[in-house]
A and B are shown apart, each in its own frame.
Chain A
Amino acid sequence: MLHFILKRTAIAIPTILALIILSFTLMHYAPGSPFAGERPLPPEILANLEAKYGLDRPFPEQMARYVWNIITEFDFGPSYSYKDRTVNEIIAQGFPVTLAYGSLAFLVSIMVGIALGITAAIHRSTWLDSLAVGMTVGAQVLPNFIMAPILVLVFTLWLGWLPGGGWQGGQWPYLVMPVIALSTSFMASIARITRSSMIETLNSDFILTARSKGLPFHEVVIRHAVKPSMLPVISYLGPTFVGLITGSVVIDIYFSTGGIGQHFVNAAINRDYPLIMGVTILTGILTVMFNLIVDILYVWIDPRIRY
């Protein structure tokens, strides 16, 4: 098992390196410039700026320097658009916020989604099933950029229960709406996957065996059906977590939570190369990490899988 984890981690390094090279190249050859504003800058100033950030250097040298700084000092460079801040600072400030409400949304999606899915599956073709399926469809067709304004309208403007935005160090009233808006569609997907997987499991022969032993139905579900039904759900969780982090774009914009999400868009619009690279690499590392966790969970759940 340790061997497997080490091997997978070793594979992750070239994966991320490839990601860096690819995104760096794409960005370099994309049209536009970080310093192209409404008013063109005088050529001398532009030259100075490019010299300051090393953009006058040949492309391979730029890339080599960038990678070298990351490896030796874990330095992602200065931000071009936030003049006096480094990418490290921006991520260090925004990422904990995103991680806080992202993880909460992740937990909420998993718990509510799985509970809904199981309820629907064991009460298949009854009103409970229809209700659960109806809720998931509803949640799925409401993307977070529609959920967010509706939530603000209801809970802030009409009822006045919750603040319409801000973060305030992550106090719970500021967390509620971001978490709901972010989790609904993922919750719905998890519920759907859980439901169909659970229905399939409940049709297995070993469920009949378990029932023939005289176990009450709820015991059969808990002891025999939940674990096998979770495999498809787990394989969905890796991409989901990353999706929650990147999905925070909308949340950060609507609720001014100050997370990393807003930088996905802003950095790209501003051609803030180092910041784009920083968020991309962060997402890449998260993706690789969560896929590894998913693989480990698989081995842990299914005794037939061995690496």
Chain B
Amino acid sequence: MRSTPRIGTEEVLLSIRDLRVTFGTPEGQVMAVDGTSLDIHPGEVLAVVGESGSGKSQTALAVMGLLARNGTSEGSILWEGREILGLPEYQLARLRSEEIAMIFQNPMTCLNPYLRISTQMIEGMTMNRKVTRAQARSACIDMLETVQIADAANRIDMYPHEFSGGMLQRIMIAMSLLRRPRLLIADEPTTALDVTVQMQIVQMLQHIRQKYGTAIMLITHDLGLVASISDRISVMYSGQIMESGLAENVFSSPRHPYTQALLDAVPRIDRNDRKLRGITGEPPGPASRTSGCPFHLRCAFRMTSCVEHRPDMLGSREHAHACHLSNET
């Protein structure tokens, strides 16, 4: 049996247990998420780190109930202790409208180019709540000011193409916060943006967390981004969690060879050789999941057991990882 980080008595907002997401394709079943478990507590920032194709985004979409049509999810997703996996669409819509919000990678394509910002912001508010359009509008303007959109009262009636990418991402953040969600899922929120703008967005998320106490699930492959903001980290590879724990633990003493390699691949100015290091090999695509530890093909410390058995996730909530190497010692 695979043990997951033990749940303490502390309140858990979102608890994912052994989540599997599969997609039916003409070539057969493709497993994007393969037994992922993670917890998010109120007000904390959890970073889910991994290469592209590691199943981070699909995990998030499964939580939102927004998987593509051919996707199915199994396992368990608990929202404040209540199972939300397999809820009927109208209840999921309600959850998305009131509890969990999400922002995406590319703000330039995530807003409807045919509608004014005001229309897109207001529509989510006037639907379930007893708010007039005028009230909603002024709340939207306030929120735009919170994310530092200057001259919000006039700009709210502009169209998305009249804004820059960074501004659009801040508008997306403002829009997601209007409903005062308890959890904000940010799927690669800075990837499509200029480096100078990336920090702005991160600071904005930090600010939001402090102001509203919103928990944030930050999906990213950018370890630098993670270091500055997250409380806890889950490292994902090939649809599975490799290592998870408090940010400082994972950063200062990474235990899984994959995490070590990932951290080693971050270019550092203080290193003598100044060489760019990568991880040799390619991550296995969702279509070619292997048995045993998914990292064994690229791992420098491979043993026979790595090919045969999938390692269990062992450790505590502060720091846990799934690797035969250290589990045996």
Contacts and interface: CB of A to CB of B under 8 A. Distances in A.
Interface in A248-307: 301-304
A171 interface: no
Contact of B96 (A214, A227, A304): A214
Contacts of B176: 212
A213 B110 contact: no
A125 B68 CA distance: 13
Interface string A196-222: 000000001110111111111101000
A256 to B, nearest CB: 46
A214 B69 contact: no
B19 interface: no
A214 B110 contact: no
B248 interface: no
A214 B95 contact: yes
A303 B159 contact: yes
A204 B160 CA distance: 15
Interface string B203-214: 000000000000
A215 B114 contact: no
B113 A215 contact: no
Given A206-B113, A209-B172, A224-B112, A217 B124 contact: no
Contacts of B97: 213-215
A304 B66 contact: no
B161 interface: yes
Contact of B127 (A205, A214, A217, A303): A214
Nearest to A301: B114
B36 to A, nearest CB: 20
A interface residue count range (under 10 / 10 to 19 / 20 to 34 / 35 or more): 20 to 34
B90 A216 contact: yes
Contacts, number: 79
A206 B111 contact: yes
B123 A303 contact: no
Contacts of A214: 93-98, 124, 127-128, 179
A209 B69 contact: no
A224 B96 contact: no
B114 A302 contact: yes
Interface in B87-139: 89-90, 93-98, 101-102, 104, 106, 109-115, 120, 123-124, 127-128
A228 interface: yes
B314 interface: no
B104 A208 contact: yes
A208 B94 contact: no
Given A213-B124, A214-B127, A216-B93, A208 B113 contact: no
B217 interface: no
Nearest to A212: B102
B114 A124 contact: no
Contacts of A228: 112-114
Contact of B93 (A209, A215, A304): A215
A205 B172 CA distance: 12
A112 to B, nearest CB: 24
A205 B106 contact: yes
Nearest to B112: A206
B247 interface: no
Contacts of A223: 115, 123
A19 to B, nearest CB: 35
Contact of B161 (A125, A215, A304): A304
Given A208-B66, A303-B161, A304-B159, A213 B123 contact: yes
A302 B160 CA distance: 12
Given A209-B172, A214-B94, A216-B90, A304 B113 contact: yes
Nearest to B60: A212
B226 interface: no
Contact of A217 (B89, B114, B120): B89
Interface in A69-125: 124-125
B113 A210 contact: no
A215 to B, nearest CB: 7
Contact of A215 (B102, B104, B111, B127): B127
A210 B110 CA distance: 9
Nearest to A210: B112
A219 B111 CA distance: 16
Contacts of A211: 66, 93, 96
A304 B113 CA distance: 8
Contact of B114 (A212, A219, A303): A303
Nearest to A208: B66
A274 B149 CA distance: 65
B109 A206 contact: yes
B158 to A, nearest CB: 9
Contacts of A125: 69
A215 B119 CA distance: 13
B184 to A, nearest CB: 11
B320 interface: no
B115 to A, nearest CB: 7
A227 B66 contact: no
B288 to A, nearest CB: 25
Interchain residue pairs A-B with the least CB separation, the first 10:
A214-B97, A214-B96, A213-B124, A205-B109, A206-B112, A212-B102, A303-B159, A205-B110, A209-B110, A214-B93
Interface of A: 124-125, 204-206, 208-217, 219, 223-224, 227-228, 301-304
